[in-house]
A = this chain, B = another copy of it.
Amino acid sequence: MENATKIHAYTLSETRKSMVEACTRICQLLGLPRSTGQIFGLLYLSPTPLSLNDIVEFLGISKASASYGTRRLLSWRAIKTVWKPGDRRDYFEVIDDISGLIKRMLNDFIKPRLGSSGKRVHDMLEGLEEEKDRGELLDAEYQICLDRLNSLVRLQEKLSAVIPVADRFV
């Protein structure tokens, strides 16, 4: 191809470097791959959509990482692809509605997880009764388990009540 693309210097302004760094730290904090954060940070302050190769060059990461990271961000709908006619490269840009992203995270990750943990506590309460009936438990143990598990149920209910509030706020 014409080497106009080769001219590209692939350097970032200080502001954008800071952004990449900040997102890296956040992801690290959340136990997510650093490279994913780098990519998001890069795209978040990009004036134009970027191709996989742009990302590789700007960040100095491998294409495999870039591909993995972008697909992950896509699956969270944190970024989206942009098509340029007559160009078979994929271009990426961040979605504009970050609040929406957070709401979705809340609903897709936290809420179902709260639900399944609620179910798990319920199962444990059932199992506890069975164990008691089979005489496998000391009374003291049965009592503690019952109390604590019930207090977990109440806590779970309170947490569930917070979700919709947060949802409206953000």
Task: Mark A residues whose CB is within 8 Å of B.
Answer: 13-16, 18-19, 22, 26, 29-31, 44-48, 98-99, 102, 113, 117, 120, 123-124, 127-128, 131, 136-138, 140-141, 143-145, 148-149, 151-152, 155, 158-159, 161-162, 165-166, 169-170
Could you write out 27 A-B pairs with CB less than 8 Å apart? A13-B137, A13-B141, A14-B127, A14-B131, A15-B124, A15-B127, A19-B124, A22-B120, A44-B148, A45-B141, A45-B145, A45-B148, A47-B138, A47-B141, A47-B143, A48-B140, A98-B151, A98-B155, A99-B158, A102-B155, A155-B170, A158-B170, A159-B170, A162-B166, A162-B169, A165-B166, A166-B166
A155→B81 CA distance, assembly (Å): 24
Across the interface, name the chain B residue whose C-beta is closest to A155. B98
What is the bound-complex CA distance between A39 and B70, given in angstroms? 37
8 closest Cβ pairs, A-B complex: A31-B31, A47-B140, A47-B144, A47-B141, A15-B128, A162-B169, A45-B145, A162-B166
Please state if A15 and B47 are interface contacts (CB–CB under 8 Å). Answer: no
Report how far A99 CA is from B158 CA in the complex, Å: 9
> Which chain B residue lies CB-closest to A123?
B18
Chain A contact surface mostly? helix
How far is the CB of A131 from the nearest CB of chain B, in Å?
Answer: 6
Cβ distance A65 to chain B, nearest Cβ, rounded Å: 20
List B contacts of A98 (CB < 8 A). 151-152, 155
B144 touches A46 (CB 8 A): yes
